[in-house]
Amino acid sequence: MNTTFDAQNSIRAETLMSEPTSSKTELSELGEFGLIRRLTENIVLKNESTLKGVGDDCAVLSFKDKKVVVTTDLLTEGVHFNLMYVPLRHLGYKAVTVNLSDVYAMNAIPKQITVSIAVSSKMSVEALDELYSGIYLACDRYGVDLVGGDTTTSLTGLLISVTAIGEADQQDLVYRNGAKDTDLLCVTGDLGGAYMGLQLLERENEVFKVNPKMVPQFTGYDYILERQLKPEARKDIPLLFKELGIKPTSMIDISDGLSSEILHLCTQSEVGCRLYEDRLLYDNQTRKMAAELNINPLVAALNGGEDYELLFTLPVADNDKIRNHPDISVIGYITPMNEGVNLITAGVGQAIPLQAQGWNPLKE
Amino acid sequence: MNTTFDAQNSIRAETLMSEPTSSKTELSELGEFGLIRRLTENIVLKNESTLKGVGDDCAVLSFKDKKVVVTTDLLTEGVHFNLMYVPLRHLGYKAVTVNLSDVYAMNAIPKQITVSIAVSSKMSVEALDELYSGIYLACDRYGVDLVGGDTTTSLTGLLISVTAIGEADQQDLVYRNGAKDTDLLCVTGDLGGAYMGLQLLERENEVFKVNPKMVPQFTGYDYILERQLKPEARKDIPLLFKELGIKPTSMIDISDGLSSEILHLCTQSEVGCRLYEDRLLYDNQTRKMAAELNINPLVAALNGGEDYELLFTLPVADNDKIRNHPDISVIGYITPMNEGVNLITAGVGQAIPLQAQGWNPLKE
């Protein structure tokens, strides 16, 4: 593990977490069971639905009349993260929140996770402590119990597999396939920040590789760094829906980019939609970084991904309930399927068919 | 992936599976969503408790009054399997059954699995079809639904992460911590076979590396090869317990070797035990291979692991109900904790403290 290129002190998020330790204990000193004990001995179960956590052949859960939702994600080193600039605590935190985001996208409440990791035998016990400190911080903030997992070695890089389990009353569940013609297309928060944070980290990493003495230039970009390194899941949104007395007709979380997610909703709901470029919300840091790197922030929103905001549709009759709500933007509306899935450009109002990946308006 | 060293036609299990195809399609031709579609499009959900499978942010399950059990395992190339001699179909099958084994060890019935894989981008689509044919065969045989997963690339080897979910009535659940003084210590099936199968595969692989023209010598060892390459989980045992009107006081599955599992049961139950060497059952192929390689089969049973049999304790009053049952051996009994956890050797009847790993009676 290489953490010499250290972004962690430059982002606000870091102040929430403690400093890394510098001692090094070999994994082989503890062995598998010793390691599991060390990583799990401080767990205090929080949820009534968790009857038995780590320590038997299985965890035992009880959901009574609730429906149970399950989702799983796999993060691999070199593909999903670069340990050159991703602190392990942030990585642990993110590995959990990206899964919880899928649970909220069902309008459900996450309750348990399992975490399996494969690590190089060269990784130190203290490095794993760091990773797990992020995992447990996420568990605390989101009220979930870590109830199981597996710990093994890999011949090469780090790999993290998280499964999240949540619950919901049947009538609250929201699927991808319920969007109807004339529904409002809505999104929470702002978009493109995680992608611009990644571009910044990649740029500074390239500079660092050429000259390790250069001080990384992160000042003023704490928000987009946090969006990339330590994203939050929108646990407030299912509660907000209850409060506002609304239930989306369809919903999905934004992990692969707005284009891809809109296409999922439209395909599964058998509808089309019109997405308005000028309704998309960007943070100032996203705009500033985009300008600096000569990237259109629209590309970051459509294809960048990892924003972990929620995209959903609402009956047009609910418009008044969300109008001017600071957490929700109406970015378009649903049409019949034969009208296609289109981006309506700002200014001229041209309709351009949305594509799932790699679509670049600068190259049209 | 290298499958030139081909064990698959030499073991009986192979006749249950179809032949591999020889065409090669690049993963990049399909893309992630195309690949997921291909790998999941033929799923037919079997269980009432599966309301929604693959295709949304989460699967949706319903267990009503049943308790829910969850377990997860991670298999990594080069650590848990060697693609030089493990056919992908067998690997897929095994990745599922080792998880189901944990569910049966709770005296529960598995109902759903999620499967996440990380593969080298060089692996072909057809190779993944092979892997999934084994996964689906296990799903069919064990009556479980594949309800979710994640598919990603890894920079190096193959990795499979499976989470299994099962159900049980609360009163049927069996934990590791319920063994009581005087209880019978019992095990299903025979032991040490998977380990001896592995030794055979490793030996033939070494021969092959030196001379690729040598024909591997597998004749007469189909049983131990199957124990290693394509182990079954004991789905019959929870049903048998019902039929016999018994409920174990504690139970665990044998994945790491009998020593390790007995120590888990005894530690968590705060008891000791006496395990009798002469009560352990070996298959003839296990004995024969052990003799050929000059290994004591006891070592294979105690420390070899991967037998996926169930180890459990029963009140002594239930002795008559299991006496002479072909699937169950009584291999010892539980004692007070202060008497320790001991192996009683055959012949002289010496008591030797059991150790979790690497204990080798040949070296005492």
| Cβ proximity of A40 and A54 under 8 Å | yes
Residue of A nearest to B252 (CA): A57
The H-or-E segment that residue B75 falls in is: strand B67-76
* pLDDT at B94 > cutoff 60: yes
Question: Is A296 buried (19+), middle (13-18) or exposed (0-12) by CB count in 10 A?
Answer: middle
When CB atoms are compared, the residue of B60, B150, B176 closest to A56 is B176
Number of Cβ within a 10 Å radius of residue B218? 17
Q: What is the pLDDT of residue A1?
A: 29
Q: Does residue B174 lie within any of the structural domains?
A: no
Mean pLDDT, residues B81-87 taken together: 90
CA distance B159 to A117: 11
Range 13-42 of A in CB contact (< 8 A) with B: 31, 33
Give the model's confidence band at A200: pLDDT under 50 very low, under 70 low, under 90 confident, else very high.
very high
Last residue of a domain, one of A143, A169, A195: A169
- Under DSSP, the state recorded for B335 is E
| Cβ proximity of A111 and A71 under 8 Å | no
- Asked if residue B197 and residue B156 are part of one domain, the reply reads no
| Chain A residues with beta carbon closer than 8 angstroms to that of B67 | 51, 60-62
CA distance A141 to A7: 23
CA distance B141 to A13: 48
| Cβ proximity of A135 and A96 under 8 Å | yes
Residue (of A95, A130, A135, A133) closest to A6 by Cα position = A130
CA distance A130 to B253: 32
Tokens 């001080």 -> residue: A215
Q: Which 3 state secondary structure label does DSSP give B83? A: coil
Q: Does residue A174 lie within any of the structural domains?
A: no
CA A144 from chain center: how many Å?
16
pLDDT tens track for A201-234: 999 999 888 888 888 888 899 999 999 999 999 9
A to B CB pairs, distance under 8 Å: 195
- Please compute, for residue A259, the number of CA atoms within 13 A of its CA located in the half-sphere on the CB side: 21
Q: What is the pLDDT of residue A149?
A: 95
- Asked if residue A130 and residue A275 are part of one domain, the reply reads no
Residue of B nearest to A267 (CA): B55
Q: Which 3 state secondary structure label does DSSP give B230? A: coil
Q: What DSSP string describes A187-210?
A: EES--SHHHHHHHHHHHHHHHHHH
Residue B108 in contact with partner chain A when CB distance is under 8 A = yes
* pLDDT at B22 > cutoff 70: no
Last residue of a domain, one of B140, B169, B198: B169
Largest CA distance in chain B: 66
CA distance B182 to B336: 8
Residue B251 in contact with partner chain A when CB distance is under 8 A = yes
Q: What is the pLDDT of residue A336?
A: 98
* pLDDT at A12 > cutoff 60: no
Q: What is the pLDDT of residue A316?
A: 97
Number of Cβ within a 10 Å radius of residue A29? 10
Question: Is B272 buried (19+), middle (13-18) or exposed (0-12) by CB count in 10 A?
Answer: buried
Residue A154 in contact with partner chain B when CB distance is under 8 A = yes
- Asked if residue A132 and residue A206 are part of one domain, the reply reads no
* pLDDT at A5 > cutoff 90: no
> How far is the alpha carbon of B114 from chain A, nearest alpha carbon, in Å?
7
| Cβ proximity of B74 and B159 under 8 Å | yes
Give the model's confidence band at A357: pLDDT under 50 very low, under 70 low, under 90 confident, else very high.
low
Residue B300 in contact with partner chain A when CB distance is under 8 A = no
Question: Is B76 buried (19+), middle (13-18) or exposed (0-12) by CB count in 10 A?
Answer: buried
Read off φ and ψ for residue B213, nearest 5 degrees.
-90, -10
CA distance A197 to B309: 50
Contact check, Cβ <8 Å, B68/A63: yes
Task: Tell me the β-bridge partners of A124.
Answer: A26
When CB atoms are compared, the residue of B60, B72, B79 closest to A154 is B79
- Asked if residue B145 and residue B17 are part of one domain, the reply reads yes
| Number of domains chain A is built from | 2
- Asked if residue A198 and residue A157 are part of one domain, the reply reads no
- Asked if residue B225 and residue B82 are part of one domain, the reply reads no
Q: Does residue A364 lie within any of the structural domains?
A: no
Q: What is the pLDDT of residue B26?
A: 86
pLDDT tens track for B273-314: 999 999 999 999 999 999 999 999 999 999 999 999 999 999
Residue of B nearest to A50 (CA): B68
- Asked if residue A190 and residue A154 are part of one domain, the reply reads no
CA distance B132 to B91: 9
- Lowest-pLDDT choice from A247-261, B55-69, B113-127, B333-347: B113-127
CA distance B156 to A121: 16
| Cβ proximity of A185 and A332 under 8 Å | yes
Q: Does residue A1 lie within any of the structural domains?
A: no
Give the model's confidence band at B357: pLDDT under 50 very low, under 70 low, under 90 confident, else very high.
low
Q: What is the pLDDT of residue B358?
A: 43
Residue B356 in contact with partner chain A when CB distance is under 8 A = yes
Give the model's confidence band at A26: pLDDT under 50 very low, under 70 low, under 90 confident, else very high.
confident
Residue (of B145, B168, B174, B175) closest to B63 by Cα position = B168
Contacts of A90 (CB under 8 A, 6+ apart): A8, A13, A17, A134, A229, A230
pLDDT tens track for A263-285: 999 999 999 999 999 999 999 99
- Domain of B285: which CATH number? 3.90.650.10
- Asked if residue A354 and residue A212 are part of one domain, the reply reads yes
* pLDDT at A33 > cutoff 90: no
Mean pLDDT, residues B3-28 taken together: 50
Q: pTM of this prediction? A: 0.91
Number of Cβ within a 10 Å radius of residue A4? 9
Q: Does residue B189 lie within any of the structural domains?
A: yes
Strands B271-276 and B184-188, how do they pair? unpaired
Question: Is B9 buried (19+), middle (13-18) or exposed (0-12) by CB count in 10 A?
Answer: exposed
| Cβ proximity of A188 and A308 under 8 Å | no
Task: Tell me the β-bridge partners of B160.
Answer: B75, B117
Q: What is the pLDDT of residue A22?
A: 65
Q: What is the pLDDT of residue B19?
A: 45
CA distance A69 to A88: 28
Q: Does residue B31 lie within any of the structural domains?
A: yes
Contacts of A139 (CB under 8 A, 6+ apart): A96, A113, A145, A146
Q: Does residue B230 lie within any of the structural domains?
A: yes
- Asked if residue A100 and residue A127 are part of one domain, the reply reads yes
pLDDT tens track for A44-74: 999 999 999 999 999 999 999 999 999 999 9
pLDDT tens track for A166-175: 999 999 999 9
- Asked if residue A333 and residue A231 are part of one domain, the reply reads yes
Q: Above pLDDT 70, what percent of chain A?
A: 92
CA distance B281 to B299: 13
Contacts of B250 (CB under 8 A, 6+ apart): B174, B175, B176, B177, B178, B179, B183, B265, B268, B269, B312, B313
Cα→Cα distances B291→A39, B10, B25, B285, Å: 41, 21, 45, 10
- Asked if residue A213 and residue A142 are part of one domain, the reply reads no
* pLDDT at B141 > cutoff 70: yes
- Lowest-pLDDT choice from A78-82, A289-293, B342-346: A78-82
> How far is the alpha carbon of B181 from chain A, nearest alpha carbon, in Å?
20
Q: Does residue B179 lie within any of the structural domains?
A: no
Residue B156 in contact with partner chain A when CB distance is under 8 A = yes
Alpha-carbon torsion angle B87, B93, B96, B97, nearest 10: -110
Mean pLDDT, residues A97-115 taken together: 98
Contact check, Cβ <8 Å, B60/A106: yes
Last residue of a domain, one of A169, A196, A229: A169
* pLDDT at B13 > cutoff 70: no
- Lowest-pLDDT choice from A158-162, B137-141, B345-349, B358-362: B358-362
* pLDDT at B11 > cutoff 90: no
| Cβ proximity of B255 and B98 under 8 Å | yes
pLDDT tens track for B313-330: 999 999 999 999 999 999
**Which domain, by its residues, includes A300?**
184-359
CA distance A112 to B331: 37
Give the model's confidence band at B168: pLDDT under 50 very low, under 70 low, under 90 confident, else very high.
very high
Residue of B nearest to A152 (CA): B74
- Asked if residue B136 and residue B19 are part of one domain, the reply reads yes
Contact check, Cβ <8 Å, A52/B175: yes
- Domain of A24: which CATH number? 3.30.1330.10
| Positions of E strands within B155-197 | 159-168, 184-188
